[in-house]
Amino acid sequence: MPLNVSDPRSNANDQIAHAVAVIGRSKHRRAVFEAIYFGKKQSKTVDEIAAKTGLPAKRVLEEAKKLSSNSIVSQTKKKGKTCYGKDDFFAIQKGKIISFVENPRKLKNLPTKTNPRLGGRKIEAFRLRRQSFQASQVTIDDLDTFARVNRVSPSSVSAFAMSEKQFKTGVMRILGDKGKFQDWGGEKNDLCTTHLRYQGKRRTAAFAFKGKGLKKKLTPALMGKNGDQIQRLFQTAAEIFLLQYWSQIDDSVLEQMQMNAKVRSYADGKRIYYGIIDGQDSARLIQAYPKQFKKR
């Protein structure tokens, strides 16, 4: 399945192929996609989409969820009602996407990273060895740098919110990293460090921190303005990629991290490690290193 591995404004063909793959042969998903992108209205409620497609509201929610989890549409709340909105890029490319959905064979002629073409001729294909993809999930308990966390039982703590800046500062103190990292909208990561130790070795690690500004389960759509923060994180020159959030993290986030780790592993020709630090593990880390997370 093609991956959404970069900003939609670059690698446009890859993004089109990604959208086509997500919609697939599902008539209901296509109908929901077309309804959301129909007309000038930027977003529509579930009831409006249901009226346009003739589908039950429950079915609309199921299909729209698949689209939003893959960053094809955005999900918001307005006056207590769930709404799904357009992405500017996909709004422009809607016609092309639908044409490929109707005739998937045409997609073979679209040059992408996974289907490159040169001078109108397809480049000779080759089979990838299973060993080409070396992606392994790690937890906070696996990392040598955070060894004290193993003394704190998950059942003994409860998740609580802490500002992104305070948590990041605490992690840097544990790492012994005295660098300065200024946050800005287009950054690839919130912290890139060579001070993390794993399996007895120093490793380059990239962190993404999501602060207490969010009040619900973390999904890919909530990560960055374009829902592309995971992809940008994996563009960092690192071998360990970690995502931290003060509350629950949806399975779809971990799935996207796994897929991006495989892509990065193939590109770099080495094993890539990825993992999440949810609210409970964040609380365990704070309890294990109270001095480092204390405000000064």
How far the first Cα of the chain sits from its last, in Å, is 48
**pLDDT for residue 118 is more than 50:** no
Angstrom distance (rounded) from CA 285 to CA 296: 18
**Mean pLDDT within 17-29:** 90
Residue 219 sits in the same domain as residue 152: yes
Residue 62 lies in a domain: yes
What interhelical angle do 46-53 and 57-69 show, nearest 10? 110
Q: Which helix (H) or strand (E) holds 195?
A: strand 191-198
pLDDT, averaged across the chain: 85
Residue 180 sits in the same domain as residue 277: yes
**Mean pLDDT within 69-83:** 91
Residue 63 sits in the same domain as residue 38: yes
Q: What CATH number should be reported for the domain holding residue 24?
A: 1.10.10.10
Residue 251 lies in a domain: yes
Instruction: Sort strands 240-245 and 272-277 into parallel, antiparallel or unpaired.
Output: parallel
Instruction: Give the residue from 71, 96, 122 where a domain finishes.
Output: 122
Residue 49 sits in the same domain as residue 91: yes
Residue 169 sits in the same domain as residue 288: yes
Instruction: Give the residue from 122, 145, 169 where a domain finishes.
Output: 122
Q: What is the DSSP letter of 70?
A: T
Write out the two tokens for 247.
């509350």
Q: How many domains does the chain have?
A: 2
Residue 155 lies in a domain: yes
Residue 235 CB-density burial (10 A; 0-12 exposed, 13-18 middle, 19+ buried):
middle
Q: Is the dihedral of CA 112, 104, 254, 63 positive or negative?
A: positive
Residue 187 sits in the same domain as residue 108: no
Residue 172 sits in the same domain as residue 141: yes
Instruction: Give the residue from 76, 97, 122 where a domain finishes.
Output: 122
Please give the pLDDT value at position 132: 61
pLDDT band at 120 (very low <50, low <70, confident <90, very high): very low
**Mean pLDDT within 128-152:** 87
Task: Using a cut of 0.85, tell me whether the model's pTM lies above it.
Answer: no
Residue 4 lies in a domain: no
Amino acid (one-letter) located at 114: T
Please give the pLDDT value at position 119: 44
Residue 19 sits in the same domain as residue 159: no
**pLDDT for residue 167 is more than 60:** yes
Return the percentage of the chain with pLDDT > 70, whole number. 87
Write out the two tokens for 33.
């996609």
Residue 155 sits in the same domain as residue 108: no
Residue 1 lies in a domain: no
Residue 179 sits in the same domain as residue 284: yes
Whole-angstrom CA distances from 41 to 12, 87, 128, 185, 217 are 24, 12, 44, 27, 27
How many CB atoms within 10 Å of residue 291? 9
Residue 112 sits in the same domain as residue 74: yes
State residue 179 phi and psi, 5-degree precision: -70, 170
Residue 5 lies in a domain: no
Residue 104 lies in a domain: yes
State residue 160 phi and psi, 5-degree precision: -145, 155
**Mean pLDDT within 212-216:** 77
Domain of 161 in residue numbering reads as 131-293
Does residue 194 contact residue 238 with C-beta atoms inside 8 Å? no
Residue 280 lies in a domain: yes
Distance of CA 132 to the CA centre of its chain: 22
* Beta-carbon contacts of residue 130 (< 8 Å; ≥ 6 apart): none
**pLDDT for residue 182 is more than 70:** no
Residue 281 sits in the same domain as residue 192: yes
